[in-house]
Structure 1
Amino acid sequence: MTETALPASLAGIREEFLELPESDRLQLLLEFSNELPPVPAEFEGHPELAERVVECQSPVYIIVEVDDDGRVAMHATAPREAPTTRGFASILAQGITGLSAEEVLAIPDDFPQSIGLTRAVSPLRIAGMTGMLMRAKRQVRAKLAA
């Protein structure tokens, strides 16, 4: 993974994980799961605006907005009973929100593998986070094209 392609917000999150001993990284992921920002009120009760991340075993939905200035906001929902998945959703929502569309599209596809959790969580969970990232990037592309 190239350092230059990783926006500061995600690079900072990655550093947080990599600075910890491997045994403590899962705890940090659980902390992120408790910090998943709520979905804005205008999306409540509008499931058609959210996209299901089928790569996740848990019901995870994401909504990506691109404003007139090209700034991205990512919102996600994930059940509290799925703290690992919820943590990954929180990392992406916090790390992507505020970036430009170009910065989001430049995030390396292997970012989920780079944060030091591949031995702490199952490959299926890493695949779920990768799915969230791919869908977020696809939504950004679709919104830019619209």
Structure 2
Amino acid sequence: MSLPPALAEIVDDFGALGDSDKITLLLEFAGELPDLPAHLEQDAMEPVPECQSPVFLSVDAADPASVRLHFSAPREAPTTRGFAAILHQGLDTASAREILDVPSDFYYDLGLGSAVSPLRLRGMAGMLGRIKAQVRNQVPDLSGA
């Protein structure tokens, strides 16, 4: 599997834990999702309707060597917020190529399938799919990937 180093480390961390500890780690990630930068408003972000909670994301691939990601997810939705934080920590500043090369189902390797509902996992898939789509739109020479 081709993952950027930061995301590969997160997958390894989850892989080393039992189900209850995986949930604890996911909740820790939820608390680490950074606030939006002052210049970015939620209204200007793309909604992720695949998520059960109102999640919004912004992708800035102006520099394809270091793509910037921003997420807005409510604190009352810690699972969804944790997924957003995993994607942020694992993919923020990765290259456009690295992001596009992430397998669309990488999140199964987190081992959360038995601890989190499939509907919630689809939300993470939706976030990743929208990130990839925005990268493709912003970096046309990679659009065939």
TM-score bracket, shorter-length normalisation: over 0.9
User: Which digits, 9 at most, give the CA deviation of each residue in 1:5-35, with x for residues without a partner?
Assistant: 1111111001111111222100000000000
Gaps in structure 1 of 5+ consecutive residues? none
- Equivalent in 30, 35, 38 of residue 35 of structure 2: 38
Separation in structure 1 between the aligned mates of residue 137 and residue 18 of structure 2, nearest angstrom: 39
Separation in structure 2 between the aligned mates of residue 114 and residue 138 of structure 1, nearest angstrom: 22
Separation in structure 2 between the aligned mates of residue 30 and residue 62 of structure 1, nearest angstrom: 19
Give the aligned residue type for 1:98: T
| Partner of residue 68, structure 1 | 63
Q: Which moved more, 1:119-128 or 1:64-73?
A: 64-73
Give the aligned residue type for 1:112: Y
Separation in structure 1 between the aligned mates of residue 83 and residue 122 of structure 2, nearest angstrom: 11
Query: After superposition, where does 1:6-85 map in structure 2 within 5 Å?
Result: 6-44=3-41, 47=43, 49-68=44-63, 70-85=65-80
Gaps in structure 2 of 5+ consecutive residues? none
The percent of aligned pairs where both chains have the same amino acid is 52
* Cα deviation, residue 145, structure 1: 2.2
TM-score normalised according to structure 2 size:
0.93
Query: After superposition, where does 1:116-135 map in structure 2 within 5 Å?
Result: 116-135=111-130
Separation in structure 2 between the aligned mates of residue 90 and residue 69 of structure 1, nearest angstrom: 21
Q: Which moved more, 1:63-72 or 1:11-20?
A: 63-72
TM-score normalised according to structure 1 size:
0.92
Separation in structure 2 between the aligned mates of residue 39 and residue 142 of structure 1, nearest angstrom: 22
Give the aligned residue type for 1:107: V
1:99 equivalent in alignment to 2:97: no
Q: How many residue pairs end up in the alignment?
A: 141
* Cα deviation, residue 95, structure 1: 0.8
* Cα deviation, residue 68, structure 1: 3.0
User: Which digits, 9 at most, give the CA deviation of each residue in 1:79-124, with x for residues without a partner?
Assistant: 1110000000000011111100000000000111110101100000
